[in-house]
Structure 1
Amino acid sequence: MKRIDGTVAFITGASSGIGAALAEEFARRGADVVLAARRARRLEEVAERVRGHGRRALAVSCDVTRDGDLEAAVAQGLSAFGRLDWVVANAGFGVAGAMHKLQIEDVRRQFETNVFGVLRTFYAAREALLASRGCLAIMGSVSGELAFPKGGPYSMSKFAVRALAQVLWYELGRKGVDVTLIEPGFVESEIRQVDNLGVHDPERPDTMPRWLRARADVAARKMVRAIVRRRRKVVVTGHGRLAVMLERLAPGLVAWLVRRYGGRFGR
């Protein structure tokens, strides 16, 4: 395990799921962590787990859909720790439903978090990243390589951030900043318990079979390894890598399978 002592990670969407697991993994490797998300109480719980690894943690309540929140969060992180080396634009959720049953506002809401939230994170942290010659990690998805029925807005948003990550990798690399695109498959998280308005309902059943969901801590370990190694892209979970490979090698077969079976687990 490569140690990253003396560095600082900034993570959005850090109050649960992948974001919380990433915070602990960065701490396990020696980084201090700035945790950003809307739910202050949950953030502080994650911060305590980070401190349990012997690292410093700062919990900052913010909303990636609000202009100014990320700038304030980054400023607090810099004030507390003096630098940012690893910035993970992780906050996101999924609007579900057949496109012909959704409204334009559903798609706009999806992009406000999953695309503009990533942009707000980047713009708020860009000077700090340039100063540290750090790494920006963008949370994409296998759905950014292959769209699925009842997941149109989500796939659209993840296709968009895949393009953004590619452009930023070209542009920032010449300035010493690396960009890592993370594309997970199905991972244990609250995303399938969040409705189309972005509201979490802990009573909502997760329709994804448990055997398909990777543990968040296992996924986070692979993600952080890719980030600290400054890899350009990493696809996490075996089924995710298989889906991406098949889409490239046998797109006709994948299209037939997705049309026939792809909507089975949608809300």
Structure 2
Amino acid sequence: MAIQLKPIDQQVIVITGASSGIGLATADMAAERGAKLVLAARSKETLDSIVRRYAEQGVEAVAVAADVGVRAQVAEIAEAAISRFGRIDTWVNDAGVSVYGLLEEVSEEDSRRLFDTNFWGVVNGSLAALPYLKAGGGALINVGSEVSEAVIPLQGMYSASKHAVKGFTDALRVELKLGQAPVSVTLVEPTAVNTPYPQHAKNYTDREAALPTPQIDPAKVADAILDAATHQRREVKVGMMAKINTNMAHLAPTIADWMASKQADRQHYDEPPRDRAGALYEACEKGAGPCGRTHGLGARGEV
């Protein structure tokens, strides 16, 4: 069956992880282009403030407080979309968290919590969206990472979760082809992005967490996501370093391992951690640190 995707201004788009970073940048861009939006995250107050801002711009949006690691709560996101707008045209699984620390140091509890959000959140979102996308046609977009194919030290469990996201996404795409479902399935793999991601991470190290440079603007990832909402794409790598690092991982893995090992000392600022706990378990709200913001510390500008 042919897959037909609507223009953005004719779409109802669901975005998880919409309270900050890539998710919020995607929501802002979709709002500017006239989409109707269903925004999900754990941060209810932050989402409500975003929806109010959109309403002032004439944009229809609804906020749903949900932990994507809990399947019943993800089902409520889909129900809210159908109740308000009657359909879902694109579903974006963006919610994600990380942990900075050596694999042998990170607790099993923290590792499982990370997988609940990063992997099971994608599974839960995909399965909640599929009945509606199959019925009307549409796009399922899962946000992975360049470490869906490469790796990075001090974020080993994050890398593992993004590998799992790729495996699930690829398998789901094949299964939907078997049934000729009118659903486009895209994996988006960005390089390091200037978002509050490091500040949301739990931090086992003794210094403030960072992402290695160069970092791209979250608007570039948002643009790639919305392109996948209107054009059938299998996989999209965003940023030159995503292409370089994934190609090296496949073509010259020993060199790629050496290059990755050099990233350990580029994942911090020379200052004590601001908040070791991050948002792994507890969502922050607007006005508290990086919440409600698209950009992070970047090369060292303040949040």
| TM-score, normalisation: structure 2 | 0.79
Match of 2:22 in 1: 18
**In structure 1, the residue corresponding to 2:141 is in which secondary structure?**
strand
CA contact (8 A) 1:223 1:236 kept: no
Higher alpha-carbon deviation: 113-122 or 21-30 = 21-30
Q: Distance in 1 between matches of 2:19 and 2:26?
A: 10
| Aligned: 1:100 with 2:104 | yes
| Aligned: 1:142 with 2:146 | yes
Q: Deviations over 1:74-123 (max 9, x none)?
A: 11111100100100011111122111112222221111111111111112
Query: Structure 2: which amino acid aligns with 1:169?
Result: R
- Calculate percent identity across the aligned residue pairs: 35
Shift of 1:206: 4.9
| Aligned: 1:158 with 2:162 | yes
Match of 2:283 in 1: none
Aligned counterpart for 2:210 among listed residues 207, 210, 213:
207
**In structure 1, the residue corresponding to 2:264 is in which secondary structure?**
coil
Match of 1:240 in 2: 242
Match of 1:257 in 2: 259
Shift of 1:52: 5.3
CA contact (8 A) 1:143 1:155 kept: yes
Shift of 1:205: 4.5
Considering fraction of residues, name the structure with more helix: 1
CA contact (8 A) 1:12 1:91 kept: yes
| Aligned: 1:109 with 2:110 | no
**In structure 2, the residue corresponding to 1:212 is in which secondary structure?**
coil
Match of 1:66 in 2: 70
**In structure 2, the residue corresponding to 1:119 is in which secondary structure?**
helix
Shift of 1:16: 0.7
Query: Structure 1: which amino acid aligns with 2:132?
Result: A
Q: Deviations over 1:115-161 (max 9, x none)?
A: 11111111222211111211111110111111111111101100001
Q: Distance in 2 between matches of 1:228 and 1:28?
A: 15
CA contact (8 A) 1:149 1:263 kept: yes
User: 1:163-174 residue pairs with structure 2 within 5 A?
Assistant: 163-173=167-177, 174=180
**In structure 1, the residue corresponding to 2:81 is in which secondary structure?**
helix
Query: Structure 2: which amino acid aligns with 1:265?
Result: R
Runs of 4+ displaced beyond 3 Å? 48-54
Match of 1:200 in 2: none
Q: Distance in 2 between matches of 1:251 and 1:33?
A: 41
**In structure 2, the residue corresponding to 1:137 is in which secondary structure?**
strand
Answer 1 or 2: higher relative contact order, Cα 8 Å, separation at least 6.
2
Match of 2:8 in 1: 4
Q: Distance in 1 between matches of 2:238 and 2:161?
A: 18
CA contact (8 A) 1:62 1:69 kept: yes
Q: Distance in 2 between matches of 1:54 and 1:218?
A: 24
Q: Distance in 2 between matches of 1:195 and 1:167?
A: 29
CA contact (8 A) 2:141 2:225 kept: no
Query: Structure 1: which amino acid aligns with 2:186?
Result: T
**In structure 2, the residue corresponding to 1:148 is in which secondary structure?**
coil
Coordinate RMSD, CA, aligned: 2.0
CA contact (8 A) 1:23 1:50 kept: no
The unaligned stretches of length 5 or more in structure 2 are 1-5, 269-303
Q: Deviations over 1:207-261 (max 9, x none)?
A: 235x5221112321122113321201101112212211222332222122223x1
| Aligned: 1:180 with 2:183 | no
Query: Structure 2: which amino acid aligns with 1:172?
Result: L
CA contact (8 A) 2:139 2:228 kept: no
Q: Count how many residue pairs are aligned between Structure 1 and Structure 2.
A: 258
| Aligned: 1:89 with 2:90 | no
Query: Structure 2: which amino acid aligns with 1:241?
Result: K
Query: Structure 1: which amino acid aligns with 2:244?
Result: L
User: 1:36-51 residue pairs with structure 2 within 5 A?
Assistant: 36-51=40-55
Match of 2:226 in 1: 224
